[in-house]
Amino acid sequence: MKLCVLLFAVLLTCAHARSAPSPNLSDDKHLHERPPPPLTKRPRINSEELESEYWISSAQEELQLALDVTNNLNRNVAKNVILFLGDGMGIPTLTAARILKGQRQDPPTPGEEGRLVFETFPHLALSKTYNVDYQTPDSAGTGTAYLCGVKTNIGVLGVNARVVESSTSSKTSVASWLPPVPPRGQYTNGSRRTPEGPHTCYGTIRSSQPPDSVLLLLLSLVPLYTYRYRSSLSPVGIVTTTSVTHATPAAGYARSASRYFEDDSDLPTECLGKQLSIARQLVDEFPGNQLKVVLGGGLSHFTSHGNLTAVWQNRTGGILAFNNEDLLNAQDTSRPLLGLFSSSHMPNHENLNPAETPSIKEMALAAVRFLKDNDEGFALLVEGGKIDINHHYGNPYHALRETLAFDEAIEAVIGEISFEDTLVVVTADHSHTMTLNGYQPRGTPIHGLVGYDIRNVAYTSLSYANGPGYRFSVDENNQVSRPNVTEEEAGQYAG
C-alpha cells in the first residue's frame, strides 16, 4: 500500500462561454454553442469509448481501486518526507499538461483520458490558498505557510504577519514609501500594516516570534533542538529549477522582510547589519547552514559580494557542483552537496544543454541518493519553479513542458524510494490566470486553434486573463478585439 498524498491548489476553472451578442436570457442555448469543425488534425479516439460497457467497466475498476486503498491503509509512521511543489501549478495547468502528455505520446492519444503520474496516487485532496493580507497569494507567503505552518503576508519569508513586506528596490529607504505609523492598536486602511507598525529588517523580525521551518521539524522522531548543535549537517535537501534563493526554497530556511533580498546588493541601506541577505542566511545561519543538499540556480547571488560558495565549502567540506559533469562526479554521499547550475533561474527544460545543466529529474535523483542512507530519515523539497515563471510571462508552451518535466521527476524519484516508510506529497502553492477556452472538440491540440468566434477571429485552446499572455484590446466602439492568429503562431501563443 502506498503512503502518499496529492494536494492541489484550487483557483481557476475552465471557461466555456464565447463572445456573443446580447442573448435572450430566457433561452440558454447560447450558453452551449459549438465552434465550427476543428482546424487541425486530431488523434483518433479509442473505439472502445463508443460502447457503454467500456465506461461501466472503467467505473468498476476505479471503485475497486478506491476500496483497496480504504481496506489496506498504510498505518506506518513515515521516516522520510518528500514534498514536490509545482509552483503555480493550478487545476487548468494540470488539465492542459495531462492533455499535452497524451498528445506527445507515440502514437499520440487525444490526451484527456490520460493521467499525470501523481494523479494515480491513492489519496487526492484540494487545498485553499491565500495570504493574511492578500486574496491572491504569492510564493513567499504560501511557502511560509506550508513550510513553517504559519500564514503570513505577501512577499515575506519565514516570519509571521506582524512583518510587512519591505522595499524591493536596492538601497532605497523603506520609509520613503510606507505611510506614517498609525497609533498603536490601529490599522491604516489600504496599507499592509499591523497594530504594532511595520517591521522591515532582521532586528524586528527576531522579535516577531518567527516560526521554525518544517524542513527540520519533519525529521521523524528527532526533536528540532538536537539539530541546533549537531556537528554534521541534517539529512534535509532542497531542489529547485529557480534560484535557490527564490521564494519557495528560501521559505524553508530564510527569514526576510522581502523575498527580493536575495543577496547583499538587494538589501536597503537601513537593513545592512540588521538582516542578512537570503544567500548569506543559507551559508551562515541556522537552519540554512544545516541543509545537506541544495541544488538549483542562482550562482550570481553567491558571488555578488565575495565568494559565498567558497565560504560554504570551507565550513562544510562539502562538494560544489556547477555543471552536470560535476553533479555526476559527486559520489561521496557522506559529504554535503551544493549545486548552482546557472547565474539566475535554470533554463527551461526544453532548452537545457544536457552536457552543462542537469534536469529537475537528475537533480532530484541526486538529492535522494545523498539523503536516503540516513538512519534517522530525511526530508526533501523539490520545486518545479519554472512552471510559475513561464505562466508569469504568458508562455503556456514552456509552462506545460515544465509541468511534464516535474511529472517525470516524480516518477523517477518514487522508483528510488519505498512507500512503506516514505510520505510523498505533491502540491501547488497557487494557480495562474491561464484557462481553457471552450468548447474544444476532443483531441484538439492543446497549443492549437479551436475554431473561429462570431467575429470570424480564430481563438486558441488556452488563454490568459491578464499579464503578457493577455493580448486583448478594446476598440473605439467598446468592443473587445484580439489578434487573429494562425495555426503556425498558435504553438507559441495563448490568447
Q: How far apart are CA 156 and CA 147, in angstroms?
A: 13
16 is in an annotated binding site: no
**C-alpha separations of 83 from 117, 223, 353, 395 in Å:** 15, 20, 27, 26
Grid coordinates given for 342: 546557472
Q: How far apart are CA 75 and CA 71, in angstroms?
A: 11
429 is in an annotated binding site: yes
- Terminal alpha carbon distance of the chain: 43
Rg (C-alpha) for the chain, rounded Å, is: 24
The HSE-up count of residue 278 (CA atoms within 13 Å, CB side) is 29
In this structure, the number of other CB atoms found within 10 A of the CB of residue 20 comes to 11
By three-state DSSP, how is residue 280 classified?
A: helix
**Residues sharing a CB contact under 8 Å with residue 84, sequence separation 6 or more, in sequence order:** 118, 382, 383, 384, 406, 409, 410, 413, 424, 425, 426, 427
430 is in an annotated binding site: yes
392 is in an annotated binding site: yes
263 is in an annotated binding site: no
Grid coordinates given for 326: 560535476
Is 170 one of the catalytic residues?
Answer: no
**C-alpha separations of 482 from 19, 179, 453, 469, 475 in Å:** 12, 40, 11, 12, 10
- Catalytic member of 19, 127, 139, 277: 139
By three-state DSSP, how is residue 396 classified?
A: helix
Query: What does the CA dihedral 253, 256, 260, 262 come to, rounded to 10 degrees?
Result: -50
The amino acid sitting at 421 is D
CB–CB of 389/92 below 8 Å? Answer: no
**C-alpha separations of 114 from 61, 110, 323 in Å:** 15, 9, 35
Alpha helices in 72-114 (DSSP H): 91-103
CB–CB of 37/456 below 8 Å? Answer: no
By three-state DSSP, how is residue 237 classified?
A: strand
28 is in an annotated binding site: no
> How do the residues of the chain divide into helix, strand and coil, expressed in percent and rounded to 5?
30, 15, 55
By three-state DSSP, how is residue 464 classified?
A: strand
**DSSP symbols for 114-138:** ---GGGGSS-EEEE----SS-SS--
Residues annotated in a binding site for Zn(2+)? 87, 388, 392, 429-430
* Residues tagged active-site: 139
Residues annotated in a binding site for Mg(2+)? 87, 246, 248, 383
Residues annotated in a binding site? 87, 246, 248, 383, 388, 392, 429-430
